[in-house]
Amino acid sequence: MKFENKVAVITGAGSGIGKKTALLLAREGAKIILVGRTQSKLETAAKEINEVCDNNSAVTFATDITKEGEVKVLSDFLKSKYGSIDVLINNAGSSGSASILELDLEDWQAIQSVNVTGVFLVSKHLSKLMINAPEKTDRAIVNIASLSGHKAGAKIPHYSTAKAGVIHFTKALAAELASYGIRVNSVSPGFTETPLTEEGLRNDSFVKAIERHTALRRVGDPTEIANVIAFAASSEASYMTGTDLLVDGGWLIT
């Protein structure tokens, strides 16, 4: 199994892409720590994972990744329970909709806070646990960026900016952690069916516009993104660091 004896932390694991990634890694033998703000969502996800993976591998830890104090508590918990971690998936994120001329500073900052500052805080505190791992086996961080980090989308200037930041933060972190043998990459999903896009995808003309702009002519399934995240986190990607994997169904080539 690809993640046997590995300890993997996944933020935003209570729904969507994070939940699918948690399931995939658990199926491949990882012990999973599901992180997010809503304990009930995390518990439901853990129960679903533990039902299909008989090693009772999923545990939950409610944390708001924008609050450094809470991230430190998460880090202390991981250190006392597992000693070190092998895989970190920085997946938590959220979006909003506004034009620049109408965007409040508070909303701008909230989107930067969860999508990019949260990735910084979790990486800073949890990569120390990876550095101090007693066995220096392949360890990896995967940050979830977005197609919007490559191409600015209408009415999501705050989100596009934050996700472009995630792509560049990934490269900076990869350069810094390479000497410890820790790989860092990002995955940039295109339009994917999750709670984040649920409302928009109820609108037929929005779905048709996505289909028109996507070479593969359809919205993505979260498992199709999780597969690529799992690859980047696995030893199969052992010579890959500091890069971004675009999984957009061919949006940027149309």
Q: How many residues bind ligand NAP (CB under 6 A)?
A: 30
Q: How far is the CB of 73 from ligand NAP (least distance, A)?
A: 13
- Name residue, tokens 């109820």: 202
If binding is defined by CB under 6 A, does position 14 make contact with ligand NAP?
Answer: yes
Q: Is 44 in the site for ligand NAP (CB under 6 A)?
A: no
The strand order across the sheet containing 182-189 reads: 58-62, 31-36, 7-11, 87-90, 139-144, 182-189, 244-247
Min. distance of Cβ 201 from ligand NAP in angstroms? 9
Amino acid at 58: A
Asked about 239 being catalytic, the answer comes back as no
The stretch among 7-15, 47-55, 75-83, 102-110 that binds ligand NAP (CB under 6 A) is 7-15
**Contact call for residue 140 and ligand NAP (CB under 6 A):** no
Given the complex with ligand NAP, which of 57 and 90 has the nearer CB atom?
A: 90
Regarding 139 and contact with ligand NAP (CB under 6 A), the answer is: no
Note whether 214 binds ligand NAP by CB under 6 A: no
Does 91 bind ligand NAP (CB under 6 A)? Our answer is yes
User: Of the residues 82, 159, 180, 239, which is catalytic?
Assistant: 159
Chain residue at closest Cβ approach to ligand NAP: 16
Out of 7, 9, 10, 12, name the contact with ligand NAP by CB under 6 A: 12
Q: Does 65 bind ligand NAP (CB under 6 A)?
A: yes
Q: Which of 117, 160, 186, 192 binds ligand NAP (CB under 6 A)?
A: 192
Give the DSSP per-residue string, the chain: -TTTT-EEEEETTTSHHHHHHHHHHHHTT-EEEEEES-HHHHHHHHHHHHHHSTT--EEEEE--TT-HHHHHHHHHHHHHHHS--SEEEE---------GGG--HHHHHHHHIIIIIHHHHHHHHHHHHHHT-SS---EEEEEE--GGGTSPPTT-HHHHHHHHHHHHHHHHHHHHHGGGTEEEEEEEE-SB-STTTHHHHT-HHHHHHHHHHSTT-SPBPHHHHHHHHHHHHSGGGTT--S-EEEESTTGGG-
Given the complex with ligand NAP, which of 130 and 147 has the nearer CB atom?
147
Residues that bind ligand NAP (CB under 6 A): 11-12, 14-18, 36-38, 41, 64-66, 91-94, 114, 118, 144, 146-147, 189, 191-192, 194-197
Active site residues: 159
